[in-house]
Amino acid sequence: MSQSHRLAKGGLIDRSKPLSFTFDGKTYKGYAGDTLASALLANDVQLVARSFKYHRPRGILTAGSEEPNALVGLRAGARHEPNVRATVAELYDGLIAQSQNRWPSLAFDLGAVNSLLSPFFAAGFYYKTFMWPASFWEKVYEPLIRRAAGLGKPPVGDDPDIYEKAFAHCDLLVIGAGSAGLAAALAAARSGARVILADEGPMLGGRLLSDKRIIGNQSGLDWVKATEAELVSLPNVRIMPRTTIFGVYDHGVYGALERVNDHVATPPAHEPRQRAYRIYAKRAVLAAGAIERPHVFGNNDRPGVMLGSAMRTYINRYAVVPTKRVAIFTSSDEGYATAHDLIAAGASVQAIIDTRADATISAAHDIPHFKGAKILRTLGNKQVQSVEIELADGSTRILDCDGVAMSNGWNPAVHLTCHQGGRPVWDDKINAFLPGNLPAGLSVAGAAQGHFGLKDTLADGFRLGASAVDDLGFKAPAIAMPDTDPESLAHTPLWRVKTSKGKCFVDFQHDVTDTDIELANREGFRSVEHMKRYTTLGMATDQGKTSNISGLAILGEASGRSMAEVGTTIFRPPYTPVALGALAGHHVHKGFRPTRLTPSHQWAEEQGAVFMETGLWLRAQYFPKTKNESWLDAMIREVEITRSKVGVCDVSTLGKIDLQGKDVGTFLDRVYTGTFSTLPVGKVRYGLMMREDGFVQDDGTTARLSENRWLMTTTTAGAGKVMAHLEFCHQVLWPELDIAFTSVTEQWAQYSIAGPHARDVLKKLVDARHDISNEAFPYMACGAITICNGIPARLFRISFSGELAYEIGVPNRYGDALIRAIMKAGEEFGITPYGLEALSTMRIEKGHVAGGELNGQTTPRDLGLIKMVSQKKDCIGKHMSERPAMLYPDRPIFVGLKPKNPKSKLTGGAHFLDKGAKPSLENDLGHMMSVAYSPMLKSWIGLGIVKRGRERIGDTIRAVDFVRGTEFEVEICDPVFFDPQGERLRG
């Protein structure tokens, strides 16, 4: 049977492009222009899903993004996407879809047993049970609940598609390209303003694609085409179909999702699947239309029950008649339009059941017409077979049909107006919520503002489009209002059929019924928010687009309050669900964050270096000589060679700040604990920097290159923080100081050359006119030099390793050449490159503080650096560093730690206990901050903080690492393990 429900002609599908697709493994045919839903209906597939809680059979309720029922899994493998609304999934050739939340099959779902148990599963039942015994929750109840819930399956593996982020700017953003949106865009565009017109669908036109209307002297469709053509011709207009404005953010920022390639099987090469935009709009017009309301009556969820407007969409736009013998259930004159279109499509209208006894409209043809009547329930199994109706006189009868078309008035799509906290306001005249407080710069046109008639939507659009851009100084030319064909929109909603039989669903997707809402009220959940949260009404993937208002009405009725008194919950972004991948864009995998490479990176790669992440940087961790050399062996070798001969290390990642001006000395005196104004030109000094709260934030060296030019270095991790801090200090605290500074971290490549032969190596590189002898260029000297025949460089005689050492800086572009030159020059001295492991070991041997110690919780006093804090002046943090707790004698103090057995592998993060002391917070003496195996001491060593540590040097305590299962006796010692007199670095 091929497309039994497809009309022979009409519709906006392209019959020249037949497409083939599968649903649950069965192959069907459709046409270009179909959605999955319209194609399924064309093939008379009515059962497409199972509900969340009761696993009830569900069909297709709507023809738009508000669909609560028809959620399917789309595509296969790594492209599988769960919970796709079949009503907006555009058909393409080869589309594969599966039904969800059923086992073993959609037609025979064992989960439907839940439906039989439904008397027990009232709203909130789980809050009242599953408590005994306590341990059963995780073991028994919860796994069962979790397995039963959850709808679609998660995708498996890496998404093969790519996503993009983009930005767009405009004077006016028009949201929705129905009659109001098109009119607004046209009016604004003719003024020359930059206009973006976005619509979630692939075609412009909105309801004009679904209802046959007349505008001026042409059909609604022709008017859409003409308007679109004009907009396309204007250079100041950008039309964005398949683009959902999903959120409204502060200051005219709109989140948008463009589905670039969801309508094809796979995106063309180099094209993204979707693109997430931030649209910056000076003004916006919301023309998102309205969503028709279903009725609440017995078994209203059975496949075949559909919104009337959706039925017209399927007929007129997709040339599909969803069901062929239809009962119209209406509280609105629009039900009659549905009847008209059904008959025009050759379907049979079994009856019009109008809930209004006083309806003035008459039914066309000879359709049975019942006023003041209701449908009590549908009958059937996986599709409606008949309905039981109650007539005005109270009598009931069974009416044969295979579908029901519901029209119960419309809800303006106010969702986006809530995103800035706006609360919709009930309007008794239209029986719906209207936008409340609007986001700045946004106005609402057409049906979204409760102006449902075509004439009104057009008038709204022209007026608001023009006024939005006039507001910005444009002059929008007047547009004459075209005539439109008459329409009848009278309605009196019926919120539920009280005499219903069977379950009456309010929220289809979450299986929330009218009695659930009554129960919530009975139990005191009277606030709309309480009711929503207790019953989960409106919390499904559709955010209650078709259910909220009926739910509120039933709550109001149960609690004796009007709709205005009950109020409404507000809608959150996104308007419709957005793929996480789209919001991440290219920031996935290695692209999650930038990777910063050091100047010697390429060279280090050539050497087979092993790299490690330090913040955004990749740094060489060690340089294995052979493939099998472990990090420990490599580190030991690198340290031994550096300490006995010479080694080189890339230290370019340290932050570098170039400071100039006559007040730099004064400035540094205020931001560093020590005094810098007295530093002579050509000298370097170590500096310690506190936060204003008295804790250390960073350390480094600052060199005075000339009278008014200084170069500060910071830690790698602290570079950005320190820069912002200094800028704060200058611009906010002391703007009167004559200084200027900028970060030059990435402008300079810098290498540390360390070891007894450091000077020998350097001599081969430094141009001969510079004297770098110990006398001419002593420890802590610095200066501008040239190397390798005139290349400008800076030389600093500073040492982190404790060896005779220099740091040499060159403009970044020479960084690669310099490392190669250093290695070449050092060859005869047996030079080795060393990585972070060796660097760290050598600084621990020397007791220098670094990352583990500068953790933001330590003071200069804690770190044994109180001598670095000048008592002669104020500086940032000085005052607060003298609070009582900071002077408390029991405070853990920085010390060295040596294991009794040198082979005991100390671990960072171990805590200290006295011998015999039981583990407790009171007995906790401190913790190990840094550890290393010291090739010099042939022992593991550590740095840490110990309560009263300085007074306890020589004591033996325990380093306990519960989480690694180790415990060692360690002796508290001075943190400087190697060359305590510092003779080597002055050599």
Partner 1 sequence: MRIPCPFCGSRDSQEFSFLGQAGLKRPDPNAPDAQKQFHDYVHIRDNKAGVTKELWLHANGCRSWITVTRNTLTHEITGSEFASPLTKEAAQ
Partner 2 sequence: MRYSVFSIVEQAFKGQKDWKPVWRYPEPKAEYDMLIIGGGGHGLATAYYLAKNHGYTNIAVIDKNYLGSGSVGRNTTIVRSNYQEPGNIPFYEHSLKLWEGLEQDFNYNAMMSQRGVLNLYHSDSQRDDYARRGNAMMMHGVRADLLNREQVHEIVPFMDFDNARFPIHGGLMQWRGGTARHDAVAWGFARGADSRGVDILQNTEAKQIRVENGKVTGVETSRGFIKAKKVGIVAAGNTTRIAETAGLRLPIESYVLQAFVSEAIKPLIPCVVTFGAGHFYISQSDKGGLVFGASLDYYTSYAARGNLPGVEDTIEEAMAIMPSISRVKLLRHWGGIMDMSMDGSPIIDKTGIDGLYINCGWCYGGFKATPASGYCLAHLMATDESHPVATALKLNRFETGYVIDEAGTGAQPNLH
By CB under 8 A, name the binding residues for partner 1.
249-253, 278, 280, 440, 692-693, 724, 727-728, 730-733, 735-736, 874, 878-880
| CB 862 to partner 2: min, Å | 12
Figure out which of the listed residues 129, 362, 731, 981 binds partner 2, where binding follows CB under 8 A.
Answer: 129
Is the Cβ of residue 593 or residue 938 nearer to partner 1 in the bound state? 593
Tell me: does residue 169 bind partner 2 (CB under 8 A): no
Cα–Cα separations (whole angstroms), residue 617 to 76, 351, 594, 835: 38, 73, 9, 14
Partner that binds at residue 255, options partner 1, partner 2, none, CB closer than 5 to 8 Å by kind: partner 2
Between 79 and 118, how does the x/- string for binding to partner 2 read (CB under 8 A)?
xxxxx-----------------------------------
Is the Cβ of residue 879 or residue 964 nearer to partner 1 in the bound state? 879
In angstroms, the CA 893 to CA 891 distance is: 6
User: What is the length of the chain?
Assistant: 987
Nearest alpha-carbon partner for 56 in 382, 378, 394: 382
- Which residues fall within 8 angstroms of residue 296, CB to CB, at 6 or more apart? 495, 496, 497, 500, 504, 505, 506, 514, 550, 554
Is the Cβ of residue 50 or residue 419 nearer to partner 2 in the bound state? 419
| CB 851 to partner 2: min, Å | 6
| CB 651 to partner 2: min, Å | 18
Report how many residues bind partner 2 under the rule CB under 8 A.
Answer: 119
Q: Which contiguous run of DSSP H or E holds residue 283?
A: strand 274-286
Is the Cβ of residue 104 or residue 884 nearer to partner 1 in the bound state? 884
Tell me: does residue 960 bind partner 2 (CB under 8 A): yes
CB 7 within 8 A of CB 346: yes
Is the Cβ of residue 10 or residue 573 nearer to partner 2 in the bound state? 573
Is the Cβ of residue 15 or residue 147 nearer to partner 2 in the bound state? 147
| CB 165 to partner 1: min, Å | 11
Tell me: does residue 584 bind partner 2 (CB under 8 A): yes
Nearest alpha-carbon partner for 14 in 222, 228, 317, 241: 317
Figure out which of the listed residues 116, 871, 885, 889 binds partner 2, where binding follows CB under 8 A.
Answer: 885
Figure out which of the listed residues 26, 429, 590, 872 binds partner 2, where binding follows CB under 8 A.
Answer: 590
Residue with tokens 């709709």: 563
Is the Cβ of residue 327 or residue 844 nearer to partner 2 in the bound state? 844
In angstroms, the CA 607 to CA 610 distance is: 9
* Binding residues for partner 2 restricted to 509-568, rule: CB under 8 A: 515, 519, 522-527, 529-530, 533-534, 536, 540-541, 543
In angstroms, the CA 345 to CA 338 distance is: 10
Partner that binds at residue 229, options partner 1, partner 2, none, CB closer than 5 to 8 Å by kind: none
In angstroms, the CA 518 to CA 776 distance is: 92
Choices 56-64, 285-293, 590-598, 742-750; region in contact with partner 2 by CB under 8 A: 590-598
| CB 169 to partner 2: min, Å | 15
Buried b (16+ CB within 10 A) or exposed e, 590-623: eeeeeebbbbbbebbeeeebbbeeeeebbbbbbb
Choices 470-478, 610-618, 768-776, 825-833; region in contact with partner 2 by CB under 8 A: 610-618
Between 829 and 868, how does the x/- string for binding to partner 2 read (CB under 8 A)?
----------------------xx--xxx-----------
| CB 673 to partner 1: min, Å | 14
Figure out which of the listed residues 122, 344, 791, 937 binds partner 2, where binding follows CB under 8 A.
Answer: 122
Partner that binds at residue 762, options partner 1, partner 2, none, CB closer than 5 to 8 Å by kind: none
In angstroms, the CA 591 to CA 595 distance is: 8
* Binding residues for partner 2 restricted to 282-301, rule: CB under 8 A: none
Tokens of 4: 């039994």
Sheet holding 384-390, edge to edge: 374-380, 384-390, 396-400
Is the Cβ of residue 249 or residue 474 nearer to partner 2 in the bound state? 249
* Binding residues for partner 2 restricted to 43-72, rule: CB under 8 A: 52
End-to-end CA distance of the chain: 95
Give bridge partners of residue 419 from the DSSP assignment. Answer: none
Tell me: does residue 134 bind partner 2 (CB under 8 A): yes
DSSP 8-state symbol, 198? E
Query: Angle of helix 454-470 relative to helix 179-189, nearest 10 degrees?
Result: 30
Tokens of 701: 């060296």
Figure out which of the listed residues 32, 115, 165, 727 binds partner 2, where binding follows CB under 8 A.
Answer: 165
Handedness of CA 664, 666, 670, 676 (dihedral sign): positive
Is the Cβ of residue 572 or residue 903 nearer to partner 2 in the bound state? 572
Nearest alpha-carbon partner for 39 in 27, 47, 30, 48: 30
Tokens of 365: 């043809």
Partner that binds at residue 824, options partner 2, partner 1, none, CB closer than 5 to 8 Å by kind: none
In angstroms, the CA 329 to CA 297 distance is: 11
Partner that binds at residue 644, options partner 1, partner 2, none, CB closer than 5 to 8 Å by kind: none
| CB 605 to partner 2: min, Å | 18
Tokens of 714: 């910071």
Partner that binds at residue 898, options partner 1, partner 2, none, CB closer than 5 to 8 Å by kind: none
| CB 581 to partner 2: min, Å | 3
Q: For residue 630, give the amino acid letter.
A: S
CB 689 within 8 A of CB 722: yes
538: left (phi over 0), alpha (psi -120 to 50) or beta: left
* Burial of 347 per CB tally in 10 Å (0-12, 13-18, 19+): buried
Partner that binds at residue 358, options partner 2, partner 1, none, CB closer than 5 to 8 Å by kind: none
What is the three-class DSSP state of 549?
A: helix
Between 241 and 260, how does the x/- string for binding to partner 2 read (CB under 8 A)?
------x-xx--x-x-----
Nearest alpha-carbon partner for 408 in 388, 390, 444, 432: 432
* Binding residues for partner 2 restricted to 920-959, rule: CB under 8 A: 920-921, 923-924, 927-928
44: left (phi over 0), alpha (psi -120 to 50) or beta: left
Is the Cβ of residue 357 or residue 440 nearer to partner 1 in the bound state? 440
Is the Cβ of residue 131 or residue 440 nearer to partner 1 in the bound state? 440
β-pairing verdict for 512-513 and 892-899:
unpaired
* Burial of 127 per CB tally in 10 Å (0-12, 13-18, 19+): exposed
Is the Cβ of residue 232 or residue 440 nearer to partner 1 in the bound state? 440
Partner that binds at residue 579, options partner 1, partner 2, none, CB closer than 5 to 8 Å by kind: partner 2
Partner that binds at residue 178, options partner 2, partner 1, none, CB closer than 5 to 8 Å by kind: none
* Binding residues for partner 2 restricted to 865-884, rule: CB under 8 A: 880, 883-884
In angstroms, the CA 522 to CA 123 distance is: 11
Tokens of 844: 């621990």
Partner that binds at residue 365, options partner 1, partner 2, none, CB closer than 5 to 8 Å by kind: none
Is the Cβ of residue 9 or residue 146 nearer to partner 2 in the bound state? 146
Partner that binds at residue 680, options partner 1, partner 2, none, CB closer than 5 to 8 Å by kind: none
Partner that binds at residue 163, options partner 1, partner 2, none, CB closer than 5 to 8 Å by kind: partner 2
Q: How many CB atoms lie within 10 A of CB 768?
A: 8
Is the Cβ of residue 309 or residue 653 nearer to partner 2 in the bound state? 653
Query: Angle of helix 548-559 relative to helix 528-535, nearest 10 degrees?
Result: 120
Is the Cβ of residue 332 or residue 536 nearer to partner 2 in the bound state? 536
* Binding residues for partner 2 restricted to 612-631, rule: CB under 8 A: 612-614
Q: Which contiguous run of DSSP H or E holds residue 639?
A: helix 631-644
Tell me: does residue 800 bind partner 2 (CB under 8 A): no
